[in-house]
Amino acid sequence: MGINLMVLVPLVGIFAVFYYYITKANKYFHDKPIPSMAAEPLFGSTRRLLMKQTSFHEFIISIYNKYPLVKVFGMIDTMTPVFVVRDPELIKRIGVKDFDHFVNHRPVFGDSEDPDSTSLFGKTLIGLNDQRWRDMRATLSPAFTGSKMRHMFELIVECSTNMAKFYKSELGKKGAVPQEYEMKDVFTRYANDVIATCAFGIKVDSLNDADNDFYTNGKKLMAFNRASVMLRMVGFRVMPKLMSRLNVDLFDSDDKHFFTEIIRDTVRTRNAQGIVRPDIINLLTQARKGALKHQKENNEREEVKGFATVEESEVGRAPNSKGMHMTELEMVAQCFIFFLAGFDTVSTCLTFLTHELTVNRDVQDKLYEEILETNKSLGGAHLTYDAVQGMRYMDMVISEALRMWAPGPALDRLCVRDYVVDDGERLKFTIDKGTVVFIPVAGIHHDPQYYPNPSKFDPERFNEENREKIVPNTYLPFGIGPRNCIGSRFALMEVKAIIYYMLLEFSFERTPNTQVPLRMGNGFPGMRTEKGVFVEFRPRK
């Protein structure tokens, strides 16, 4: 009996300490004058999401709708207190006006503060913090201006025309037999080829060479549902400091090694042979030397920007004449994050966009008419940067797709010093240092207060007249403030180019496997559908 007690007492003590550790944040909001979601040990308020009973997209919409009359409410994300901000004016204050209080993202996958850390994600523009982030943003920002995108557009057009030719040839071999394709697979291959040529400086053909190394390594990298990756993600949420001390990275060393060697070889070859190519590696090389400067956009005419394009803030435009000391690992990390964004985010946008064009035939037909007019104005020549920027209806369609299916259903910011919220009426409380703010993008985009009949795909919301009526800070597909997406121009021109060339050659048709309405796949992370998005490419006569 004594021996059993000697074993039992320490076990009870360990369990008590562990229980306190995983529940200590659950009462955080009890003394705040805002409502908060119920919390339970370890899961916090996110059991449905973590147990794969709902999708991230639907989870964000459901919690947003839970408190329709409040400006902000609380929830516990596993063990972290999170303020969910619903009010557009408060979103602007947090994301823009009082940005210095919320300068960082929530630390998720590695410690960006440790210079000796080999964590790749922690050294990306998304993972960096404070002054290091400011320096990197100012260094990279000139690489993503309209003038730089103009030079890179030819590479994107080459990938787009290759894809259209491939499916035209494939369907020619099959005669009149209808052929359906799964859109996520189709556009992941396209996005893979674009990011390979534009970011890594190599040419791959993921349609004719379906199992090329670049594509297979990319698929492996993005397989976040693997057990080993899921365990690491949980570890970073529950024991972030320990995971950082152990130098654990989200990505496998083999995956990192593959992409690192590509970049090293490319830079080595270019330096030795004096090769200059209009791609990200070239721009990063210039940035390391301080040779990139912000320039005024096209002096002869003001550039036409897509509605969803975000503007660079003063942080990104800050002079960085000497260039920051960017280590080789940091340079690799920036290419790495461009790859992740290009491989998944762009392909996700295209997947949902193609579905909406397929089930909304009137929209597809109207867009096709604009594409025909543009093609005629070009005399059948290749699409140009200026021509695609001038396609108004194309921009309306893509803007609406990004509203309905924002690739990032929520934004996060970490509070780096205490911040007092005071609306001058009845609401006054403090967002404490170390807590997190969520901006529920999917919820806002589906709020009928801002977008009537939000489940209807209606590009006319973004015509010249209606776009002026959109409430500021309620359209956030690329984020808000200085921490917005640096690559919005790149992503939009990539999406527009492939839709132009595919609709020029094919109509998008329903098949028996086209799911209407779409149902989302449960779990986190990513925007996935339950059964895939199936569409027939029917050649135009």
Binding-site residue ranges: 485
Reduced to 3 states, what is the DSSP secondary structure of residue 345?
A: helix
Asked if 420 and 405 count as a contact pair (C-beta separation under 8 A), the reply is no
Between helix 146-173 and helix 488-505 the angle, nearest 10°, is 30
Residues with Cβ < 8 Å from 538, sequence gap 6 or more?
A: 178, 506, 507, 508, 509
Pairing of strands 534-539, 419-422: unpaired
Dist CA 414 CA 435 (whole Å): 6
Residues with Cβ < 8 Å from 76, sequence gap 6 or more?
A: 25, 26, 28, 36, 37, 39, 44, 45, 46, 82
Nearest to 348 by CA among 508, 495, 197: 495
Asked if 118 and 247 count as a contact pair (C-beta separation under 8 A), the reply is yes
Dist CA 99 CA 459 (whole Å): 32
- β-partners of residue 428 are 422
Dist CA 290 CA 293 (whole Å): 8
Residues 495, 501, 504, 506, CA torsion sign? negative
The CA–CA distances, whole Å, from 431 to 2, 411, 473 equal 49, 17, 20
Dist CA 166 CA 155 (whole Å): 17
The burial class, CB within 10 Å (0-12 / 13-18 / 19+), for 99 is middle
Residues with Cβ < 8 Å from 281, sequence gap 6 or more?
A: 199, 200, 201, 263, 266, 267, 270, 335
Annotated binding site for heme: 485
- Beta-carbon neighbour count of residue 455 at 10 Å? 10
